[in-house]
Structure 1
Amino acid sequence: MPLWKRNLIVCWLGMFVTGVGMSQIAPILPLYIKQLGVNDSAAIAQFSGIAFGITFVLSAIFSPIWGAAADRWGRKLMLLRASLGMAVVVGCMGFSTNVYMLIGLRLLQGVITGYSTVCTTLIATQTDSKHAGYALGTLSTANIAGSLIGPTIGGFIGVNWGLQNSFFITGGLMMVAFITTALFVKESFTREDKVVIGLREVWRKVPEKSLTINLFVTFFVLTVALYSVEPIITVYITQLSGNTSHVALLAGIVFSASGLANLIAAPRLGKLSDRVGAQKVILVALLAAGVLFIAQAFVTSPWQLMGLRFLLGLAAAGLIPSVNTLIKKITPASLTGRMFGFNMSAGYLGVFGGAVLGGQVAAWMGIRYVFLITSALIWINAGWVYFMVYKKLETNGREDHGKLEHSRS
């Protein structure tokens, strides 16, 4: 078995375990904050937002730093650092005695995180261009699969064994990822003892500066759009169903529908991008997603919403892996970790910005407008991709083909 396939399996399992662990915390944060002594509902909402968002903000800042460390010291070492660090920090959250200690630990979690980023870098650098789309598409399903079952596991543990045990078990899952990585991930990495260069010098070495920035912008807008509806889905389902006794179940099914579709389609669209070009897959997926977001604004039942979210999951499966594939193809191997770090920073900021955007639009204009504005963002992004990414790559491809034909003649 090729090395990249072996590491893909191990990294997939590690990211899956990490996804389960991290997603099972999110639903119980407000309940845990209340257990820590905060009783006012407005204060609980405020502290929950801070505790949730601070991790993404700090992750956005530190992702490029850990990406640079991975390029300099090796990807496996950074995987071990991230998984062990998260195991300790998340486990300590179960010992919090007040909400400020919890927020401090969430802040520290944002500083030391980076397991998924380094996994992506490792697989991208070990996989040849012919299989990059398939490998990165498959890898992207790990967090999705973990996130699908994580909230259910977290709720079950919290109800039956106590909220604190959710953090202890999550820390244990992170430790499983650490042990699995230590035993089975293989990397042939030779550290070059060179003077650490600054950001400006790194940027000078990037061959496709304009295209790289355009891909970062594309990734940011994608995550803003995809996460803008996350905060309001449950409220929207309440409006559609009129039966509050089953809202939690319906919301869970609706969330799972898009995740399941993404899980099914991502490896297949990854293979397709290897054949026809990732830029084509991104463009078509953006156009389809724009239509599907508009349709979600006009549904009249939760089941219609569920069907459209499943279709959206199929389209979304071609987006983020394709962006990662293009970054891998245009970036020198020595800079891959740093470029993926910057890209993940854009993604983390997009998650935070999307959640804020969705909540504000819903509060001021109504829930249905969240879907319409998100659709507009998606189509603006499609226009950006067409002019700034698609046309440039297609032109470069034709020029390379012309040079090849000329050399043959």
Structure 2
Amino acid sequence: MEMWKRNLKVCWFGMFVTGIGMSQIAPVLPLYIQHLGIQDSASIERLSGIAFGSTFIISAIFSPIWGHAADKFGRKPMLLRASLGMAIVISCMGFAPNVYVLVALRLLQGAITGYSTACTTLIATQTDKEHAGYALGTISTANIAGSLLGPTIGGFVGETFGLQNVFFITGGLMLIAFITTVLFVRESFSREDNKVLSFKEVWNTVPEKGLTITLFITFFILSVAMYSVEPIVTVYVTQLSKEASHIALIAGITFSASGFANIIAAPRLGRLSDKIGAHKVMLICLVIAGIIFIPQAFVTNTWELMGLRFLLGLTVGGLNPSVNILVKKITPSALTGRVFGFSMAAGYLGVFAGSVLGGQIAGYLGIKCVFFVTSALLLINAVLVYFKVYNKLNINNNHRMEKYEKGIRNGKLQVSGK
């Protein structure tokens, strides 16, 4: 088996578990905080928001740092550091004596992340151009699917096995990811740049600054769109099925429906990106995703909402891989880890912003407006991608084709002249 294929399988599992570890606490967090002795509902809500959101803010800060370390010391050491560190920290959450220790451990979890950044960089740098779309499409499903399925898994484990076991089981899975990384991941790494570059020096080295910024913005908005519904999905499901029991489980399944679809669609759309171009897949999927959000505001039952969330996941399956493919294409190999670190930071900020935005819009304007605003963000982003990415890459491709055809004509003339 080729080295990149074996690494892809190991990294997929590790990123999937990491995604679960980052999001599985969401449905059980208020209950666990109450279990730790906080009884006032306002305090529980406030502390839940701090404990959940702080992890992603800290992750956004540290992702570029770990991306730089991956470029300097190798990607496999970063995989081992992150997987073992998260296994220990998440397991310790199950032993937290009070809510303040829990919040501190969530902050530490955010600081030691970097598994996804190292995985993406490893696969991007090892995979040949012909299979880049498929590989990055496959790897992108792992973190997204883990993040979207995490709330359902966390809610099920917490309800079935107890709240503390949510942390122990996730920590155990991270330990398995660490062991499989030690045994099966292979990396032929040569340090291409020993110099520690500042952010300004790194940025000055990036050749396509405008295109890179547009891709970061796109990844940020995608994360906002996927998580804007998280704060309101339980309330929305309650409104749609007032007589149903197990509302929390139904809400988790509804939220996670897009994760299931993402697993199905991303590798296939990644292959399509290899054939027709990632910029084309990105633009089409952005438009369709923006449209699919609108009917979610008009559903009459949870099955319709689940179906639309599933369709949304199919389109999102073509977005994150396209961003990663284009980032890989325009970034020098020596800077791949750092640039992917910044991209991942934009995603973490999007998760936090989406959660906050969805809750605030629902509180002030109503739940249905969350879907309208999210749709507008995606469609505006589609316009930005059309002018800043799609047109630019089409022009560049046309120029390359003209040079190629000119070279062929010149070659024929030379042959005929002989």
* TM bracket, shorter-chain basis: over 0.9
- Matched to 2:64, the amino acid is P
Q: Deviations over 1:283-334 (max 9, x none)?
A: 1111111111111111122222121111111111111111011001111111
Tell me: CA distance 1:7–1:373, structure 2 relative to 1, closer, same or farther (3 Å): same
Partner residue, 1:299: 299
1:341 matched to 2:348: no
Please identify, of 305-314 and 371-380, the stretch whose mean Cα deviation from structure 2 is larger. 305-314
Report the alpha carbon displacement of residue 366 of structure 1 after superposing the two structures with TM: 0.4
Q: Following the alignment from structure 2 to structure 1, what is the Cα–Cα distance between the partners of residues 192 and 268?
A: 37
Post-superposition offset of 1:373:
0.8
Partner Cα separation in structure 2 for residue 334 and residue 352 of structure 1: 30
1:53 and 1:3 map into 2 onto residues whose CA distance is: 37
User: AA paired with 1:231?
Assistant: P
2:172 corresponds in structure 1 to 172
- Which stretch shows the higher mean deviation, 299-308 or 354-363? 299-308
Q: Indicate conservation of the 8 Å contact 2:151/2:256, yes or no.
A: no
Which whole-Å CA distance do the structure 1 matches of 2:253 and 2:153 have between them?
A: 15
Task: Tell me if structure 1 keeps the 8 A contact 2:36–2:99.
Answer: yes
CA distance in 2 between counterparts of 1:172 and 1:320 reads 28
The answer to whether structure 1 residue 276 and structure 2 residue 276 are counterparts is: yes
Secondary structure of the 1:34 match is helix
Taking a change above 3 Å as real, the CA distance of residues 284 and 192 of structure 1, as seen in their structure-2 partners, is closer
Tell me the residue number matched to 2:97: 97
Q: How much does 1:401 deviate?
A: 1.1
Report the Cα offset of residue 213 of structure 1: 1.0
Q: 1:248 to 1:156 in 2, by over 3 A?
A: closer
Letter in 1 for 2:234: T
> What's the CA shift string for 1:240-282, capped at 9, x where partnerless?
2222424234323322322211111111100001100011001
Instruction: Give the aligned partner of residue 290 of structure 1.
Output: 290
C-alpha deviation, 1:380, in angstroms: 0.3
TM-score normalised by structure 1 residue count? 0.96
SS in structure 1 opposite 2:207? coil
1:59-208 alignment, distance < 5 Å: 59-147=59-147, 150-192=150-192, 194-208=194-208
CA contact (8 A) 2:61 2:345 kept: yes
Q: Which residue of 2 aligns with 1:7?
A: 7
Aligned partner letter, 2:258: S
Residue by residue, what CA displacement relative to the aligned partner does 1:176-222 show, whole Å, maximum 9, x if unpaired? 11111011100000225633121111112111111111111111112
* Alpha-carbon separation, structure 1, partners of 2:149 and 2:376: 31
Conservation of the 8 A alpha-carbon contact between 2:262 and 2:313 = yes
Is 1:35 aligned to residue 35 of structure 2?
yes
- Give the distance between the partners of 1:194 and 1:19, measured in 2 at CA: 31
Check conservation: 2:283, 2:385, Cα contact below 8 A: yes
How far off its partner does 1:146 sit?
3.5
1:366 aligns with 2:375: no
Alignment check: 8 A CA contact 1:121 1:336 kept: yes
Shift in Å at residue 359 of structure 1?
0.5
Quote how far apart the aligned CAs of 1:17 are.
Answer: 2.7
1:377 aligns with 2:364: no
Code of the residue aligned with 1:132 in structure 2: it is: A
Task: State the distance in 1 between where 2:198 and 2:74 align.
Answer: 18
How far apart are the structure 2 equivalents of 1:383 and 1:153? Answer: 36
Asked if the contact 1:280/1:390 (under 8 Å) is kept, the reply is yes
CA 325–60 in structure 1, closer or farther in 2 if over 3 Å, else same: same
Q: Distance in 2 between matches of 1:371 and 1:155?
A: 24
Q: Rate the CA distance shift 1:302–1:168 in 2: closer, same or farther, 3 A.
A: closer
Q: Which residue of 2 aligns with 1:23?
A: 23
Quick one: distance in 2 between partners of 1:167 and 1:251? 21
Structure 2 length normalisation: TM-score? 0.94
Letter in 1 for 2:25: I
Q: Percent identity?
A: 70
- C-alpha displacement at 1:152, in angstroms? 4.5
Deviations 1:218-249 (Å, cap 9, x if unpaired)?
Answer: 11112112211121112111112222424234
- Structure 1 position 149, deviation (Å): 5.2
Say which SS state the counterpart of residue 37 (structure 1) adopts. Answer: coil
Deviations 1:36-58 (A, max 9, x none): 11100111111011000000000
| Structure 1 residues 100 and 273, CA gap change in structure 2 (3 angstroms) | same
Deviations 1:351-405, CA, capped at 9 Å, x for gaps: 1111111101000010001101111111100000000111011111111111111
C-alpha distance in 2, partners of 1:13/1:225?
A: 25
Shift of 1:113: 0.5
SS of alignment partner, residue 232 of structure 2: helix
Instruction: Confirm or deny: 8 A CA contact 2:57 2:349 kept in the other structure.
Output: yes
Give me the whole-angstrom Cα distance separating, in 2, the residues matched to 1:194 and 1:145.
35
SS in 1 for 2:96: coil
